[in-house]
């Protein structure tokens, strides 16, 4: 089974916090939803914004301390992983409709 | 169509051909399937409208209406299949139900055409006498409803992404226009049903429905124009509106 960027990040969150697997995945899923993102189509750039602007607040709400530092560490881990490259290779609806409009 | 809808349909037909060609040119440069499918869709729509309107425009030169209308009907149904392929390929390319929806649409369209021929309704103008009419109608409604829904859902997602700088406001707006295109196509199909029902029952086309169809045709091409060939003023308006909307937030 292929590991998606979402799966990888959820595992990293679980490892770096006191959240269990379900809580880590659920919190990440909620953060993505706030930004209108799909777990299955997540790119590293999108993830970077979520980790910087949304997830720290979501983690703090769930009692996780030093949330911003954890998110920053997760982003560093993701940047060097192979999962990120796989996620970025797929064309999104965004890209297709941008091309169709001559942007 | 006894009143003025043929004028709007002719304008729409010419517009669709003009919209299809640049998208096919884009496809030849990019080698990508979405622009090829969409370009073909618009081209088929233009061809369809041309064949439907030719017997009206050139009444004295074209003595046989039925063969031309049949070609128009086939071209339109083919364009609907293309819409279904486009929607599946762009929005739901990893989901089995989407493939099922495309297959269902194709089966309904083909079955509708076959049954229509069986009932001698070559033009597809007899909803009361020909049960195949409704199979074809359902086959057309599925893709049009689908793009209206997918476009709207995606637009909602992109609105959130725009807020975080993750998407271009122009693309977000394009999805809304695409959704409205689907809704207008759907509205046109429904109006045509009403027109055909009245024609079959009373032998005349409804003037009100005729006007309504013309209106929907014009709105449809407006959506396509603004979505895929946006003029500078429209691009500026969308960008400016977005800047105002999110100024000072985040």
Quick one: pLDDT band at residue B9, thresholds 50, 70, 90? confident
Q: Residue written as tokens 């989407």?
A: B98
Give the Cα separation of B62 and B47 in Å (integer): 16
pLDDT at B55 over 90: no
Write the CA distances from B54 to B9, B69, B117, integer angstroms. 11, 9, 22
Query: What percent of chain B shows pLDDT beyond 70?
Result: 92
A20 DSSP assignment: -
Tokens of A60: 């703090």
Tokens of B150: 């997918």
pLDDT at B250 over 80: no
Rounded to two decimals, the pTM is 0.88
Which long-range contacts (C-beta less than 8 Å, at least 24 apart) are formed by A75-78?
A: A75/A47, A75/A48, A75/A51, A77/A12, A78/A5, A78/A8, A78/A9, A78/A12, A78/A44, A78/A47
**Any chain A CB within 8 A of the CB of B164?**
yes
Q: Calculate the average pLDDT of chain A.
A: 89
Q: Calculate the average pLDDT of chain B.
A: 91
Give the Cα separation of B42 and B82 in Å (integer): 9
Nearest chain A residue to B162 by CA: give it. Answer: A35
Quick one: pLDDT band at residue A90, thresholds 50, 70, 90? low
More confident residue, B53 or B18: B18
List the Cα angle B83/B88/B92 in 5-degree steps. Answer: 150
> What average pLDDT does range B151-161 have in this prediction?
95
CB A39 within 8 A of CB A3: no
**Which chain A positions have a beta carbon within 8 Å of B165's beta carbon?**
49
CB B6 within 8 A of CB B57: yes
Q: Do B23 and A100 touch (CB under 8 A)?
A: yes
- Interface of chain A against chain B, CB under 8 Å? 34-38, 40, 45-46, 49, 53-54, 91, 93-94, 96-103
């Amino acid at each position: 089974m292929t590991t998606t960027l979402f799966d990888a990040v959820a595992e990293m969150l679980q490892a770096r916090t006191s959240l269990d697997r379900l809580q880590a995945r659920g919190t990440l899923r909620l953060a993505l939803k706030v930004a209108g993102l799909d777990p299955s189509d997540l790119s590293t750039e999108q993830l970077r914004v979520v980790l910087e602007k949304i997830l720290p607040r979501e983690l703090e709400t769930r009692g996780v301390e030093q949330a911003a530092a954890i998110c920053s560490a997760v982003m560093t881990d993701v940047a060097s992983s192979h999962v990120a490259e796989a996620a970025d290779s797929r064309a999104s609806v965004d890209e297709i409709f941008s091309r169709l409009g001559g942007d | 169509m006894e009143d003025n809808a043929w004028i709007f349909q002719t304008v729409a037909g010419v517009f669709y051909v003009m919209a299809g060609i640049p998208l096919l040119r884009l496809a030849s440069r990019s080698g990508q399937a979405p622009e090829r499918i969409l370009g073909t869709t618009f081209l088929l729509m233009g061809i369809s409208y041309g064949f439907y309107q030719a017997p009206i425009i050139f009444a004295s030169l074209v003595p046989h209406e039925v063969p031309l209308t049949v070609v128009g009907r086939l071209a339109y149904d083919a364009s609907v299949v293309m819409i279904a392929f486009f929607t599946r390929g762009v929005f739901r390319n990893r989901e089995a139900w989407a493939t099922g929806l495309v297959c269902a649409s194709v089966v309904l369209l083909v079955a509708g055409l076959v049954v229509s021929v069986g009932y001698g309704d070559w033009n597809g103008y007899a909803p009361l006498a020909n049960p195949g009419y409704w199979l074809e109608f359902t086959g057309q409604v599925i893709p049009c409803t689908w793009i209206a829904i997918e476009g709207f859902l995606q637009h909602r997602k992109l609105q959130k992404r725009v807020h975080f700088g993750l998407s271009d406001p122009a693309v977000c707006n394009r999805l809304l226009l695409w959704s409205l295109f689907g809704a207008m196509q759907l509205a046109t199909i429904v109006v045509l049903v009403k027109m055909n029902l009245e024609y079959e029952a009373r032998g005349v086309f409804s003037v009100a429905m005729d006007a309504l169809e013309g209106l929907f045709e014009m709105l449809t091409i407006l959506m396509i124009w603004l979505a895929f060939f946006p003029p500078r003023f429209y691009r500026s308006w969308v960008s400016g509106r977005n800047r105002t909307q999110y100024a000072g937030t985040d």
